[in-house]
Amino acid sequence: MNSFQAIVLFLFGALAVVGVGIFAATKAGSKANFKGNVMLWGTISEEAILPVVSDVSTANSNEFSLSYRQMRKEDFSEQLLEAIANGTAPDVVILPEELLYKHRRQFIIFPKETLSERTFKDTFVERGEVFFGQNGAYALPIFVDPLVLFWNRDMLSASGISRVPRTWEEVVANTPALTKKDERGNILQSAIAMGGINNILNMKAIVSALLLQVGDKITEYGEDDAVFSLLGETNPASEPSLSALRFFIEFGNPTKSVYTWNTALPQSAEMFKRGELAMYLGFASELPLIRSGNPNLNLDVSMIPQREGSSPATYGKSYGLAILRNAKSPQASYSAAYELLSRDNALLLMSASGVPSASRSTLSERFDDPFMTTFAKSALVAKGWIDPDPTRTSAIFKRMMDRIMTGSLGNAESLRQAREELKVLVQ
């Protein structure tokens, strides 16, 4: 039995676990006849997902009707809680993993007895494991949005660089050639957006990627799915993590040869769109925004640089398909989830959204789009951590980096203090 068949059987068997009946199925993939209206909420654009939702609903009209409502990411958490309180909550959500910790008790957990950890890992990419806790899965991974390296082909060619840097060592070697300054030392063209805090759009994600590449887990599930802060607790001691943080800040240090960034520069994404930034670390989902911001930009994309001699890794944001405990039509909700997770629909969603699927089977495809090929490879090696509160953890990371950059606190003490702040937050 392959991993997708196991997921199908799991979706059938899960109904018995939550006490809403059992499908009478004689073979994998057979479905019972029932009717139900299923409301799906998510932050994915309607333009990308509605065609697939409509096709799924039409193809299964004798079993369920599926509709979708796009939510603003900023309002998603508050509106979900409000809807649960007044009885108007959706049945299924496509959940950004950053909201998992806050809402995990509101979802049906898929227990290990029904969906084993082995099957989960065989079916979904590693980044999706954020949804799998000590007692089972809170959601089934549907998308992974990896951090990738966008680069300006014209700028690298003009600087005599024949290929995009594949390692951080190559980034260091090429940074002086890609950085241009005026006679007063003002930066006119930057090599890469690193070394700053407030004007680097994905600062926390970039620092997270560097930490994850040296083996820092940042946070981890514990007993009863409590979250523990492990920031800086790499082995041996915290030296690899400190090295990663020092590496990041060097690009903003005027005394270093890699100095290429300061607070006077525009926001990193805008600078890349202008053609004044050679390399931009951004998420796969940002591609349409970059293209619309400058249709004439001669850009390409690659996996983010790696540590020389280490296994490839990047940071990624994941999205999971979760069923609410108070779903009005639990049977129909499971059936709709099964359809959305099917291989064909996963590929359609991947193509429509421009974001890789979390299903391993879909990422083995050969894609005509070279950008998606890179996105898929990045999704396979994407890692992450359990973020209990994105706004507050961003503030913790900013304070940590600011203390190191200004020298207001020693590097090791800055890291230790951030770890303690994170411990207080998860508790």
pLDDT in tens, 408-426: 888 899 999 999 999 999 8
Q: What is the CATH number of the domain that holds 96?
A: 3.40.190.10
Do 261 and 323 sit in the same domain of this protein?
no
Looking at every residue in the chain, the average pLDDT score rounds to: 89
Residue with tokens 């029932």: 34
Following CA atoms 396, 398, 402, 405 in sequence, which dihedral angle do they give, to the nearest 10 degrees?
120
Do 305 and 328 sit in the same domain of this protein?
no
pLDDT confidence bin for 34, thresholds 50/70/90: low
Do 416 and 369 sit in the same domain of this protein?
no
Do 206 and 129 sit in the same domain of this protein?
no
Which pTM was predicted? 0.90
Do 379 and 422 sit in the same domain of this protein?
no
Do 262 and 150 sit in the same domain of this protein?
yes
Do 265 and 158 sit in the same domain of this protein?
yes
**What is the number of structural domains in the chain?**
2
Do 141 and 151 sit in the same domain of this protein?
no
Do 345 and 275 sit in the same domain of this protein?
no
pLDDT in tens, 364-420: 888 889 999 999 999 999 999 999 899 999 999 999 999 999 988 888 999 999 999
Cα–Cα distance, 84 to 81 (Å, whole number) = 5
Cα–Cα distance, 152 to 116 (Å, whole number) = 44
Q: H-helix or E-strand containing 362?
A: helix 360-363
Do 133 and 248 sit in the same domain of this protein?
no
- Domain with 330, as residue range(s), is 3-145+317-383
pLDDT confidence bin for 27, thresholds 50/70/90: very low
Residue with tokens 């930057």: 190
Do 137 and 206 sit in the same domain of this protein?
no
Do 176 and 271 sit in the same domain of this protein?
yes
17 vs 136, more confident: 136
135 vs 359, more confident: 359
Residue 321's nearest CA partner among 14, 5, 2 is 14
